[in-house]
Structure 1
Amino acid sequence: MTTKKALIVRGGWDGHQPVETSQSIIPFLVSNGYEVRVEESTGVYADRDYLPTVDVIVQANTMNVIAKDEVNGLIAAVRSGTGLAGWHGGIADSYRDSVDYLHLIGGQFAHHPTRTPHDQLGGRPDDYFVAHTINIVPEMAGHPIVAGIGDFELTTEQYWVLSDSYNEVLATTTVAAREFDAWTRPVVVPAIWTRQWGLGRVFVATPGHGLDVLDNPDVRTIVERGMLWASR
């Protein structure tokens, strides 16, 4: 049997625990027949010989930069059939200066609400942790990534993402409008989506701020299924 290849590319802001979260999914990939390679930078994306041989890229790389030849290599690999998967800022807030990357992913982090008004924040890590619901889109409830999973609650960063209608949205979350917020009505945004790009599949889950969130049974199941779904 031919061994499948998974590439983990991680780095960026340490607050998202790129090492811890990505390490936690390696046993699952190995148990599903993947040979796993880990890279601490995006330089591997410029390897036009290796990258198209990868079945799925799992990216955990937040608020970083990417060179033009690297993003071009990543896009070319996905278009030829390499899958791309990730969670939270590791995929939805990776390279803010690359519109080509944004076009590939189909969504970009724009905001996460605060628990209290800004002038009452205490500079704590949980200042941006709010209780919210991840709502499975009823029409997509049979999709293999979310099948059998109902709406679930989280208290963590709630991502408001800017996105487009090309995404196949599997779950949403509703950002509340509170009296101290600048917006005046609730806003429904994608929380889990897929995207077909050429021959390749892209999977994005916005929950996953840290290992504790990724260890939530529903989040973990969705991410594991999403990696397999995206894989060539």
Structure 2
Amino acid sequence: MTRRAMVVRGGWDGHQPEAATDLFIPFLRENGFEVSIETDNEVYADADRMAALDLVLQSVTMSEISWDALTGLRRAVEQGLGLAGWHGGIADSYRNSSDYLQLVGGQFATHPGKEPHLREGDASDNYLPYTVEITELGREHPITAGIEDFELETEQYWVLHDDLVDVLATTTHPVRPWHPWHRPIVSPAVWTRLWGAGRVFVATPGHSPDVLEHPSVRTIVERGLLWASRTESA
């Protein structure tokens, strides 16, 4: 039976939502998904449309969401729809909606910057070298099994989160003289969340297409899309 995925993309252009999601549409099709693309999250309010889907890949940084659309998304996930995404497209969406944040389980707080005298006034001011560390749970989970810790140089998300997330990978923000915190902070970098009969998958790397094309990041995202998709047991 054909599975159905919907890509919902838009919001802040700096995360290149079209180019980023285009990287994964062929993968979804190769894995038996019929893929539709939407640029307006109001589609979430269409109960019949949502009930017919197996997966939503969302890439909508910041922006806003109506009460009807949010209610529709939450209901659909609770009933078994998978919700997946990366970086700001899922972890920095709809900042003014606490109910959305509860659904996803983690929210972007900041991405610490370089030493002040090295900053040039562009996006690279927030590119830092850091390590994505696979957790013990992650070493056994189908999304991250077999993937070793890996290095990136891009935005390192500091994420506020709760205990209902299952953390598959973390990243540590070290203490630096130009930052105000006094001890290292560990943030989830890859997590899953069970919500009713549905599954949520989030990866924080993915600021730009080149990051998504890193072999480990791409593998994690591809596996995450398949894992989150509606299951028969749901």
TM range (shorter): over 0.9
* One-letter amino acid matched to 1:75: R
Alignment correspondent of 1:44: 43
Query: Pairwise CA RMSD of aligned residues?
Result: 0.8
C-alpha distance in structure 2 between counterparts of 1:121 and 1:222, whole Å = 31
For residues 160-175 of structure 1, the aligned pairs below 5 Å read 160-175=158-173
Whether 1:84 and 2:83 are equivalent positions in the alignment is: yes
Alignment correspondent of 1:177: 175
C-alpha distance in structure 2 between counterparts of 1:4 and 1:88, whole Å = 25
Deviation track 1:38-68 (CA, whole Å, cap 9, x = no partner) reads 0011011010111011000000000110000
The one of 125, 130, 140 equivalent to 1:142 is: 140
Partner secondary structure for residue 69 of structure 2? helix
The one of 202, 205, 209 equivalent to 2:203 is: 205
C-alpha distance in structure 1 between counterparts of 2:90 and 2:41, whole Å = 13
For residues 1-232 of structure 1, the aligned pairs below 5 Å read 2-117=1-116, 121-232=119-230
TM-score, normalised by the number of residues in structure 1: 0.98
Q: How many residues align?
A: 230
**Which segments of structure 1 move beyond 2 Å, counting only runs of 4 or more?**
none
Structure 1 residues not aligned, in runs of 5+: none
C-alpha distance in structure 2 between counterparts of 1:7 and 1:216, whole Å = 24
C-alpha distance in structure 2 between counterparts of 1:172 and 1:57, whole Å = 24
Partner secondary structure for residue 24 of structure 2? helix
Deviation track 1:178-198 (CA, whole Å, cap 9, x = no partner) reads 011010111001000000000
Q: What is the CA distance between 1:120 and its match in structure 2?
A: 5.4
* One-letter amino acid matched to 1:228: L
C-alpha distance in structure 2 between counterparts of 1:70 and 1:211, whole Å = 28
C-alpha distance in structure 2 between counterparts of 1:211 and 1:182, whole Å = 31
C-alpha distance in structure 2 between counterparts of 1:219 and 1:115, whole Å = 23
* One-letter amino acid matched to 2:13: D
Q: What is the CA distance between 1:139 and its match in structure 2?
A: 3.5
Structure 2 residues not aligned, in runs of 5+: none
Identity of aligned residues (%): 57
* One-letter amino acid matched to 1:216: H
Partner secondary structure for residue 97 of structure 1? coil
Partner secondary structure for residue 50 of structure 1? helix
C-alpha distance in structure 2 between counterparts of 1:35 and 1:140, whole Å = 29
* One-letter amino acid matched to 1:61: V
C-alpha distance in structure 1 between counterparts of 2:51 and 2:165, whole Å = 23
* One-letter amino acid matched to 2:113: T
* One-letter amino acid matched to 1:164: D
Q: What is the CA distance between 1:176 and its match in structure 2?
A: 1.1
C-alpha distance in structure 1 between counterparts of 2:122 and 2:9, whole Å = 25
C-alpha distance in structure 1 between counterparts of 2:108 and 2:123, whole Å = 18
TM-score, normalised by the number of residues in structure 2: 0.97
Deviation track 1:94-147 (CA, whole Å, cap 9, x = no partner) reads 100000000000000001010112x65321220000000000002330110001
